[in-house]
Amino acid sequence: MNEQNRDIGQEILAGLQEIKRGEMQEGDSALLNLDRIFNSNEFVTEWFPSPKWLEDGTGYTLLELPDAGQEIVQIDAKTGSRETLATSSQLIPAGETAPLQVKEYSLSKDCVKLLIFTNTNHYWVLNRSTWNLHKLGNDSQSGTLMNAAFSPDGQKVAYVSQSNLFTENLISGQRIQLTKDGSDITINGNLAGLYSGLNTRGFRWSPDGSHIAYVQFDTKEVKDFYLLNNTDSLYSKIIPFQHVKPGAVLPACHAGFVSASGGETIWIDTLGDPRNHYITQLCWTPDSKNVVIQQLNRRQNTINVMFVERNTGLVQTVLTDSDETWLEPYDLHWIKGGKEFTWISERDGWRHVYLASREGGALKLLTDGSFDVLNIQAIDENRGWLYYIASPENPTQRYLYRVGLDGSSTPVRVTPQDLEGTHGYLMPLDSQWAFHTYSTFDTPPVVHLIKLHSHEIVRKLVDNSQLLEKLKPLKRQPTEFFRVNIGEGVELDGWCMKPADFDPEKRYPVLFHVYGMPANQTVLDQWNGFRYLWHLMLTQLGYIVMSLDNRGTPAPRGRAWRKIIYRKHGILPAADQATAVRTLIAQRPYVDAERIGVYGWSGGGCVSLHLIFQYPDLYKVAMPGAGLSHHKFYTASFTERFLGLPQDNPEDYENTAPLNMVENLKGDLLLIHGTGDNNVHYQSTEALIEKLVNLNKRFTMMAYPNGSHGLGSSRATQRHLYDLYTGYLSQNLPAGPR
């Protein structure tokens, strides 16, 4: 038999073995299969619909889906009593028969008006005192409105249309065009996708409702990138969008403010060249006297907080922070009527919360200790507490803490000590109540409304009891969390899922789920839905599934842990991962060194490419999804944060590119990408395919036509993707112990 026929025969045999395993899974309630996971509602996780706290914190609103359609309801936190704010019948426009389909909504401060964004991309306002339903904008603006927001008094709405900023009076109906220079290259009040990961808001009302601060982009030197839609019609459709690749010209970003009644914009005199700086945050002081902006340099290692007097336009820099690597922008939280604000910094080696004065001067440390603050949850100024999320002892978990605003107290854990896992909180401004969501890796989430100060449960909102009953008969072992020492005092966190009938005397194939980049962790003690179930299915087929968090992931393990990845994107994660795998092989005899595979998406796809190219004798199979083959293909604002500018250090871009390591490929490679991905462009995979072909490297490829970065949320697509994964593993990383 020649080599080609032998390969085909092996693939057919592996396919028959997979079919046999699938049949064995079918009909056994203890065993999972892809149809049970993706084509049924058997294991659907119940989540609490996104609540919105009322301004006074006494209750919250929900968008519910009763049998009759959509309803927006208000619920009293203390008593649980319900009031329907809008029924489906009240959301039927005049002359229509069908109600609006609500995609998002907001409530005016007095709870009288509802601002509704529909699935047809239109904005409507329902006045609950008159039950008048009013569509925002005029006919020429239909479908073009963006970012609509109530004024603080609820009497007006501001929005962006066709790159210009407007206000609309909800009483008189008067529309005022605040900017007149909007075009394809001059963009007012909207981010236009140009600031990836920097959290800029397009415009902000002043608290007194008299003015609007906004950003303006001048994109005349920004090039278009093109996606191609080949499936919606007989002839291809080109989809252009403005995009800045690393090292290319940034849009010039300006900030200004204008009267909500119209007039001239007062432009803010910021530091340096606007094409080499980012305006990362935009807000007002509580007294409406100052616009506050955060300006970040292009290298993203120096940030200035500037206060701008509304009456004079005078600019004062009240705070400067810097780092040798990069900085993250954060929202400001005000206390003492706006005299002080919170600032998050890693200046002492840990991510801590400080208080800063609007007059400048030294920062006051609030969260002292060798731990990281992950985020600020709320400030209860009346009681003198700052609430934040942290996990000082275990970076795979999350808990709520509080500390005094005077900086003199010791942090106190609010989450009960007997509850491990991951805890999330959503609380109103007065911090009397909170929604508490709790899960572990093996246990789906439970949601309670609690009294915050005592953590007393007021009522259970979600318990996932049906899902828990479905999980009980499944063959599974508790997931093991562990640490592995990779030398020089460095330990990586990991988790391990083993077959229920695991035999330590035998050797098993191991599939590693990887991300490894600064945007995310994979080793978290929290419920992971369908992915968890698929991993569990793999253990039932005879695989071990593991994941490791290398250095450079955003784990709360200190600045040095996170920032070591600077200018080593891909290289350092892969080295940490490979060293850890070799250590696990040495320490755990049941890990089959001849059957090691890896898969990951986006950043995890990039690291998967690194692993199979850099360590071809260790990794036998890699299944990267939407993986970046060279950082030059990505976006400037994200890539330059971690690699610097390609003009300054081109060698880092070349040294960290999987594209330049293709010649090392020995194992089995499955490339997956959506052709409509406007995040990691399909261009990246095309360049990799070209290199693989030129080097005569064998690989497998799956392109999803018009697929977005995450391929969308349809079950059919997800079912197909995980079927693809499962089949490829079956053929190239045979299941079962030896």
Token pair recorded at residue 50:
């996104």
In a domain, 159, yes or no: no
Instruction: Give residue 12's pLDDT.
Output: 34
In a domain, 694, yes or no: no
460 exposed, middle or buried (CB, 10 Å; 0-12, 13-18, 19+)? Answer: exposed
Specify whether 648 is located in the same domain as 573: yes
The structure tokens 């025969």 sit at: 9
- CATH number reported for the structural domain that contains residue 223 in this entry: 2.140.10.30
Dihedral angle sign, alpha carbons of residues 332, 375, 351, 640: negative
Q: Is the pLDDT of residue 27 over 70?
A: no
Question: Cβ of 735: how many Cβ atoms within 10 Å?
Answer: 22
In a domain, 520, yes or no: yes
Token pair recorded at residue 609:
């490419």
Dihedral angle sign, alpha carbons of residues 708, 714, 718, 723: negative
Token pair recorded at residue 428:
């109103």
Half-sphere exposure of 263 (CA within 13 A, CB side): 12
The structure tokens 């080696």 sit at: 349
Query: What's the number of domains the chain is made of?
Result: 3
Treating both helix axes as pointing N-terminal to C-terminal, what angle do 529-541 and 3-25 enclose, rounded to 10 degrees?
110
268/256 Cα distance (integer angstroms): 5
| Arithmetic mean of pLDDT, 674-688 | 97
Choose the final residue of a domain: 463, 494, 521: 463
DSSP one-letter code for 394? -
Token pair recorded at residue 729:
């593993």
Consecutive H or E run containing 15: helix 3-25
282/201 Cα distance (integer angstroms): 6
Q: Is the pLDDT of residue 14 over 90?
A: no
Q: Are strands 591-601 and 508-513 parallel, antiparallel or unpaired?
A: parallel
- CATH number reported for the structural domain that contains residue 589 in this entry: 3.40.50.1820
pLDDT digits (tens, 9 = 90+) for 365-391: 999 999 999 999 999 999 999 999 999
Specify whether 378 is located in the same domain as 492: no
Q: What is the pTM of this model?
A: 0.94
Q: Any residues with CB less than 8 A from the CB of 384 and at least 6 apart, and which?
A: 404, 405, 406
Choose the final residue of a domain: 463, 483, 500: 463
| Arithmetic mean of pLDDT, 206-233 | 96
CA 613 remoteness from chain centre: 28
CA 217 remoteness from chain centre: 24
pLDDT digits (tens, 9 = 90+) for 245-254: 999 999 999 9
Token pair recorded at residue 733:
């990383």
- CATH number reported for the structural domain that contains residue 384 in this entry: 2.120.10.30
Specify whether 272 is located in the same domain as 344: no
602 exposed, middle or buried (CB, 10 Å; 0-12, 13-18, 19+)? Answer: buried
Instruction: Give residue 26's pLDDT.
Output: 54
Instruction: Give residue 1's pLDDT.
Output: 36
| Arithmetic mean of pLDDT, 132-154 | 95
The structure tokens 């005397």 sit at: 505
In a domain, 409, yes or no: yes
In a domain, 149, yes or no: no
269/441 Cα distance (integer angstroms): 50
362/28 Cα distance (integer angstroms): 65
Q: Is the pLDDT of residue 22 over 80?
A: no
In a domain, 106, yes or no: no
609/516 Cα distance (integer angstroms): 12
Question: Cβ of 338: how many Cβ atoms within 10 Å?
Answer: 18
256/279 Cα distance (integer angstroms): 11
Q: Where are the alpha helices (DSSP H) in 451-527?
A: 465-471
Choose the final residue of a domain: 435, 463, 491: 463
Specify whether 655 is located in the same domain as 601: yes
Consecutive H or E run containing 169: strand 164-169
| Arithmetic mean of pLDDT, 176-188 | 96
Radius of gyration of the chain (CA): 27
Q: Where are the alpha helices (DSSP H) in 623-714?
A: 636-643, 650-655, 682-694
582 vs 341, 538, 560, 598, 690, CA distance in Å? 48, 22, 24, 14, 32
Specify whether 565 is located in the same domain as 623: yes
In a domain, 376, yes or no: yes
pLDDT digits (tens, 9 = 90+) for 130-139: 999 999 999 9
Q: Where are the alpha helices (DSSP H) in 351-446?
A: none
Domain, as residue range, for 649: 3-45+475-664+714-732
Q: Is the pLDDT of residue 2 over 80?
A: no
Q: Which of 698, 639, 707, 697 is nearest to 672 (CA)?
A: 707
End-to-end CA distance of the chain: give it in Å, rounded. Answer: 27
Specify whether 238 is located in the same domain as 264: yes
Specify whether 235 is located in the same domain as 371: no
Token pair recorded at residue 301:
């290692």
Instruction: Give residue 431's pLDDT.
Output: 82
Specify whether 315 is located in the same domain as 227: yes
Specify whether 628 is located in the same domain as 480: yes
Specify whether 446 is located in the same domain as 525: no
Specify whether 405 is located in the same domain as 539: no
Specify whether 553 is located in the same domain as 614: yes
665 φ, ψ (degrees, to nearest 5): -60, 125
